[in-house]
């Protein structure tokens, strides 16, 4: 075919295509997919536990089917520990751990991790800060050396702080150009106000410049301590070997004489909900529409009812996506998240759409929440949605890192580690009536909040026909540092 042009080939293909019978291209009816097979309850290795004299809880999860080991050091404090004026402090502190210690600079840490074929990650979420390392089981000793060093002896070098601060500031600048990110920030403030879960975990453009090295060192000294930590080692390792590693690298980690701060992220004021907040961003190419409200905490007795209810709504075949994307073509995707935390976390349903259809999507989000009560899922709908939930859970446990992460989460929230073996049965036990009850008692649409970020003039007329007392905040007046969401007027 040397010398034949691409244009000639395309013309030849087009001629051949046009000559084919049109029946070939007729849409054939799709067969109804078979129902999911009954789930099989897997049995995961039983973790072994001990508490070192310094208060460090150590959990070993042996699994020898692959020659890999993952070690996660979890600090039981995260973004909720940020002082109100220093949003982003916990996340910056965690991210800086791998950027230099008293014996290694950032490049040396990276090179040593790479030399053992491993990975090293750190960061903070609400409720926890984590540092994880994963390597071949034959390399776990040098990996644990690095893990202990970055946790216990970080230097927080000024140049690394400034480099990370600039990265975070750049990320915020990008986020504030995206309606979806803005809506996420605003939703947290609407639901949680000025309580600890209300601020952006990575900080704001105003809070990040205020964070000093002294603030970082102080937070590390207060919360990075053995009696506020959990070490989970999972993979190709015996309980005896794992215990020896924990003792060798963390046994002499001294517990401070000061009392561990007792923090709570509980909402500080009653949230009656039902607010409609519009952030007017005239240059937005589309609108982000969020429904947000308080959900449940991780230890709530309704946890499994909640996650099954959420999966009925979310996912490609979930009700939100079916109604908003597939049926009406109003969005590339709609989803919901039930984020369970130490204290009550948020429930958020969201979609992005054309500015002109912002009000319609808000109505559809509320309508689908209501429909869980008036038209709960029949078994034919509920069974495949449970299969999605179980499949995701099982897939996340295929790696030793995923297994260690799941066990660490159970330990963080004070749950039985054996729940990992009861998860599938607990999901399967949820009925249509359970979903209907959870939706009616915990996801009341009337007390849910609506947040829309976009070009307000294109959706406000329709929105005003649906809702009263709409709060409209111009983008240049938005302040994410306060529950008021508005910048103070200059006197």
At residue 261 the predicted structure's pLDDT band, cuts being 50, 70 and 90, is confident
The tens digit of pLDDT for each residue in 148-205 reads 999 999 999 999 999 999 999 999 999 999 999 999 999 999 999 999 999 999 999 9
Supply the pLDDT for residue 267.
79
CATH topology of domain 48-250: Cytochrome Bc1 Complex; Chain A, domain 1 (3.30.830)
Tokens read off for 331: 């969005």
User: Superfamily for 276-477?
Assistant: Metalloenzyme, LuxS/M16 peptidase-like (3.30.830.10)
Phi, psi of 472 (to 5 degrees): -110, 125
Query: Does the fold of domain 276-477 match that of domain 48-250?
Result: yes
Of 199 and 28, more confident = 199
At residue 41 the predicted structure's pLDDT band, cuts being 50, 70 and 90, is low
**What are the domain boundaries of the chain?**
48-250, 276-477
The tens digit of pLDDT for each residue in 351-390 reads 999 999 999 999 999 999 999 999 999 999 999 999 999 9
Question: In which residue are the tokens 């937070």 written?
Answer: 219
Query: What is the pTM (predicted TM-score) of this model?
Result: 0.89
Give 346's strand partners. 294
Q: Are strands 57-62 and 119-125 parallel, antiparallel or unpaired?
A: unpaired
């Amino acid at each position: 075919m040397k010398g034949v042009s691409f244009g000639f080939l395309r013309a030849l293909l087009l001629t051949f295509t046009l000559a084919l019978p049109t029946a070939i291209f007729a849409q054939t009816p799709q067969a109804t997919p078979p129902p999911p097979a009954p789930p099989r309850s897997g049995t995961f290795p039983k973790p072994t536990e001990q508490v070192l004299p310094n208060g460090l809880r150590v959990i070993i999860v042996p699994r020898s089917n692959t020659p890999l080991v993952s070690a996660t050091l979890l600090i039981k404090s995260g973004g909720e520990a940020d002082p109100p004026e220093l949003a982003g402090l916990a996340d910056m502190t965690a991210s800086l751990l791998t950027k230099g210690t008293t014996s290694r600079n950032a490049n040396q840490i990276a090179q040593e991790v790479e030399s053992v074929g491993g990975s090293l990650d750190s960061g903070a979420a609400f409720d926890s800060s984590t540092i994880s390392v994963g390597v071949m089981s034959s390399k776990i000793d040098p990996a644990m050396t690095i893990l202990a060093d970055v946790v216990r002896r970080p230097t927080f070098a000024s140049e690394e702080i400034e480099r990370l601060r600039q990265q975070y500031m750049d990320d915020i600048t990008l986020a504030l150009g995206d309606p979806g990110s803005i809506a996420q920030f605003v939703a947290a403030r609407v639901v949680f106000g000025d309580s600890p879960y209300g601020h952006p975990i990575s900080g704001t453009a105003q809070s990040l410049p205020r964070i000093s090295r002294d603030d970082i060192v102080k937070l590390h000294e207060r919360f990075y301590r053995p009696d506020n930590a959990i070490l989970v080692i999972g993979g190709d390792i015996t309980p005896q070997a794992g215990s020896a590693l924990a003792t060798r690298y963390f046994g002499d980690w001294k517990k401070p004489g000061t009392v561990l701060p007792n923090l709570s992220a509980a909402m500080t004021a009653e949230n009656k909900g039902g607010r409609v907040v519009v952030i007017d961003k005239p240059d937005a190419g589309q609108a982000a529409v969020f429904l947000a409200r308080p959900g449940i905490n991780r230890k709530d007795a309704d946890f499994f009812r909640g996650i099954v209810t959420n999966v009925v709504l979310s996912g490609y075949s979930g009700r939100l996506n079916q109604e908003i994307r597939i049926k009406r073509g109003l969005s590339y995707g709609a989803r919901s998240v039930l984020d369970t935390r130490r204290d009550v976390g948020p429930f958020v349903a969201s979609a992005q759409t054309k500015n002109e259809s912002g009000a319609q999507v808000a109505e559809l989000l509320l309508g689908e929440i209501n429909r869980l009560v008036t038209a709960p899922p029949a078994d034919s709908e509920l069974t495949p949605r449970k299969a999605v939930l179980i499949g995701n859970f099982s897939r996340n446990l295929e790696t030793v890192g995923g297994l260690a992460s799941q066990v660490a989460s159970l330990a963080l929230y004070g749950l039985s580690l054996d729940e990992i073996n009861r998860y599938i049965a607990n999901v399967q036990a949820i009925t249509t009536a359970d979903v209907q009850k959870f939706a009616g008692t915990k996801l009341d649409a009337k007390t849910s909040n609506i947040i829309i970020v976009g070009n307000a003039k294109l959706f406000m007329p329709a929105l005003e026909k649906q809702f009263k007392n709409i709060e409209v905040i111009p983008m240049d007046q938005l302040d994410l540092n306060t529950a008021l969401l508005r910048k103070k007027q200059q006197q």
